Amino acid sequence: MDKRVVANEVLLEDAALLMEEGREVMFTPLGSSMHPFIRGGKDSVRLKKMPSVEVGDIILVRLLGPRYVLHRVIEIEGDNITLMGDGNIAGTESCKKDDVLGTVTAIIKKGKEIVPGKGRFWRFLKPIRRYILAIYRRLPHEN
Protein backbone atom coordinates (compact mmCIF):
# COMPACT_ATOMS: atom_id res chain seq x y z
CA MET A 1 0.00 0.00 0.00
CA ASP A 2 1.31 3.43 -0.89
CA LYS A 3 1.67 5.85 1.97
CA ARG A 4 0.91 9.47 1.20
CA VAL A 5 1.34 12.55 3.32
CA VAL A 6 -1.44 15.10 2.90
CA ALA A 7 -1.61 18.52 4.56
CA ASN A 8 -3.93 18.55 7.58
CA GLU A 9 -6.06 21.30 6.07
CA VAL A 10 -6.82 19.16 3.00
CA LEU A 11 -7.23 15.81 4.74
CA LEU A 12 -9.34 17.05 7.62
CA GLU A 13 -11.57 19.26 5.48
CA ASP A 14 -12.36 16.22 3.33
CA ALA A 15 -12.90 14.13 6.46
CA ALA A 16 -15.28 16.78 7.83
CA LEU A 17 -17.33 16.70 4.62
CA LEU A 18 -17.56 12.90 4.74
CA MET A 19 -18.66 12.93 8.39
CA GLU A 20 -21.33 15.55 7.59
CA GLU A 21 -22.69 13.02 5.06
CA GLY A 22 -22.95 10.46 7.88
CA ARG A 23 -19.86 8.48 6.89
CA GLU A 24 -17.05 7.29 9.15
CA VAL A 25 -13.46 8.31 8.50
CA MET A 26 -10.17 6.85 9.63
CA PHE A 27 -6.75 8.50 9.75
CA THR A 28 -3.48 8.44 11.66
CA PRO A 29 -3.09 11.56 13.78
CA LEU A 30 0.32 13.13 14.36
CA GLY A 31 1.74 14.67 17.52
CA SER A 32 1.98 13.58 21.12
CA SER A 33 -0.86 15.51 22.76
CA MET A 34 -2.97 12.36 23.23
CA HIS A 35 -0.21 10.09 24.58
CA PRO A 36 -0.30 7.49 25.97
CA PHE A 37 -3.73 6.53 24.60
CA ILE A 38 -3.22 7.64 20.99
CA ARG A 39 0.37 7.51 19.76
CA GLY A 40 0.89 10.05 17.01
CA GLY A 41 2.05 8.55 13.72
CA LYS A 42 1.42 4.99 14.94
CA ASP A 43 -2.18 4.57 16.04
CA SER A 44 -5.17 5.35 13.86
CA VAL A 45 -8.57 6.66 14.87
CA ARG A 46 -12.05 6.11 13.45
CA LEU A 47 -14.41 9.07 13.75
CA LYS A 48 -18.07 9.70 13.13
CA LYS A 49 -20.33 12.73 13.51
CA MET A 50 -22.44 12.05 16.60
CA PRO A 51 -25.71 13.75 17.61
CA SER A 52 -24.19 14.99 20.87
CA VAL A 53 -20.88 15.33 22.70
CA GLU A 54 -20.22 14.32 26.30
CA VAL A 55 -17.47 15.00 28.82
CA GLY A 56 -14.80 12.36 28.25
CA ASP A 57 -15.35 12.03 24.48
CA ILE A 58 -12.34 12.40 22.19
CA ILE A 59 -13.36 14.80 19.44
CA LEU A 60 -11.93 16.44 16.35
CA VAL A 61 -12.62 20.16 16.20
CA ARG A 62 -11.85 22.98 13.78
CA LEU A 63 -10.46 26.05 15.52
CA LEU A 64 -9.57 29.42 14.03
CA GLY A 65 -6.72 29.35 11.57
CA PRO A 66 -8.03 26.83 10.49
CA ARG A 67 -6.38 24.62 13.04
CA TYR A 68 -7.53 21.11 13.89
CA VAL A 69 -7.31 19.49 17.31
CA LEU A 70 -8.06 15.93 18.42
CA HIS A 71 -8.48 16.15 22.21
CA ARG A 72 -10.69 14.98 25.05
CA VAL A 73 -13.68 16.98 26.28
CA ILE A 74 -13.10 18.00 29.90
CA GLU A 75 -16.02 20.39 30.36
CA ILE A 76 -19.23 21.47 28.65
CA GLU A 77 -21.10 24.62 29.64
CA GLY A 78 -24.03 25.39 27.37
CA ASP A 79 -22.63 25.70 23.84
CA ASN A 80 -19.00 25.98 25.05
CA ILE A 81 -16.65 23.00 25.12
CA THR A 82 -13.26 22.86 26.86
CA LEU A 83 -10.72 20.34 25.56
CA MET A 84 -7.40 19.01 26.80
CA GLY A 85 -5.04 16.46 25.31
CA ASP A 86 -4.42 13.36 27.44
CA GLY A 87 -0.68 13.92 26.97
CA ASN A 88 -0.86 17.53 28.15
CA ILE A 89 -0.26 18.62 31.71
CA ALA A 90 -1.63 22.13 31.26
CA GLY A 91 -3.33 24.19 28.62
CA THR A 92 -6.76 23.76 27.17
CA GLU A 93 -8.64 24.73 24.02
CA SER A 94 -12.13 26.15 23.86
CA CYS A 95 -14.63 25.76 21.07
CA LYS A 96 -18.35 25.80 20.35
CA LYS A 97 -20.46 22.73 19.69
CA ASP A 98 -20.68 23.81 16.03
CA ASP A 99 -16.86 23.43 15.76
CA VAL A 100 -17.04 19.68 16.45
CA LEU A 101 -16.35 17.68 13.29
CA GLY A 102 -16.50 14.15 14.71
CA THR A 103 -16.09 11.88 17.71
CA VAL A 104 -13.55 9.07 17.99
CA THR A 105 -15.45 5.76 17.96
CA ALA A 106 -12.38 3.50 17.82
CA ILE A 107 -8.62 3.64 18.30
CA ILE A 108 -6.67 1.18 16.16
CA LYS A 109 -3.43 -0.06 17.75
CA LYS A 110 -1.39 -2.72 15.94
CA GLY A 111 -4.46 -3.76 13.97
CA LYS A 112 -6.70 -4.12 17.02
CA GLU A 113 -9.69 -1.85 17.55
CA ILE A 114 -10.23 -0.37 20.99
CA VAL A 115 -13.39 1.49 21.93
CA PRO A 116 -12.24 4.61 23.79
CA GLY A 117 -13.45 5.11 27.33
CA LYS A 118 -14.36 8.43 28.87
CA GLY A 119 -10.95 8.82 30.54
CA ARG A 120 -12.43 9.30 34.01
CA PHE A 121 -9.46 7.79 35.87
CA TRP A 122 -6.91 9.61 33.68
CA ARG A 123 -8.70 12.93 34.25
CA PHE A 124 -8.71 12.19 38.00
CA LEU A 125 -4.90 11.74 37.81
CA LYS A 126 -4.38 15.22 36.33
CA PRO A 127 -2.54 16.55 39.43
CA ILE A 128 0.16 13.85 39.04
CA ARG A 129 -0.06 13.39 35.27
CA ARG A 130 3.26 15.18 34.71
CA TYR A 131 5.10 12.42 36.64
CA ILE A 132 3.26 9.58 34.92
CA LEU A 133 3.95 11.08 31.48
CA ALA A 134 7.61 11.69 32.34
CA ILE A 135 8.01 8.00 33.17
CA TYR A 136 6.05 6.97 30.05
CA ARG A 137 8.28 9.09 27.78
CA ARG A 138 11.41 7.44 29.18
CA LEU A 139 10.17 3.89 28.58
CA PRO A 140 11.20 2.10 25.38
CA HIS A 141 8.32 1.84 22.89
CA GLU A 142 7.81 -0.58 20.02
CA ASN A 143 7.46 0.84 16.53
Residue pLDDT tens, the chain, 143 long: 566 677 777 888 889 999 999 999 999 998 889 988 999 989 999 999 999 999 999 999 999 878 899 999 999 999 999 999 998 888 899 999 999 999 999 999 999 999 998 988 888 888 888 888 888 888 887 65
CA atoms within 13 A on the CB side of 110: 4
CA 12, CA 83: separation in Å to the nearest integer?
A: 18
What is the reported pLDDT for 68?
92
What is the reported pLDDT for 52?
95
CA 13, CA 3: separation in Å to the nearest integer?
A: 19
What is the reported pLDDT for 121?
85
Eight-state DSSP code of residue 64 = T
Q: How far is CA 90 from CA 17, 60, 72, 138, in A?
A: 31, 19, 13, 20
What is the reported pLDDT for 51?
94
Please name the helix (run of DSSP H) or strand (run of DSSP E) that holds residue 20, with its range, or none. helix 8-20
**What pTM was computed for the model?**
0.87
Pick the CATH number of 8-138 from 3.40.920.10, 2.10.109.10, 3.90.550.10, 3.40.190.290: 2.10.109.10
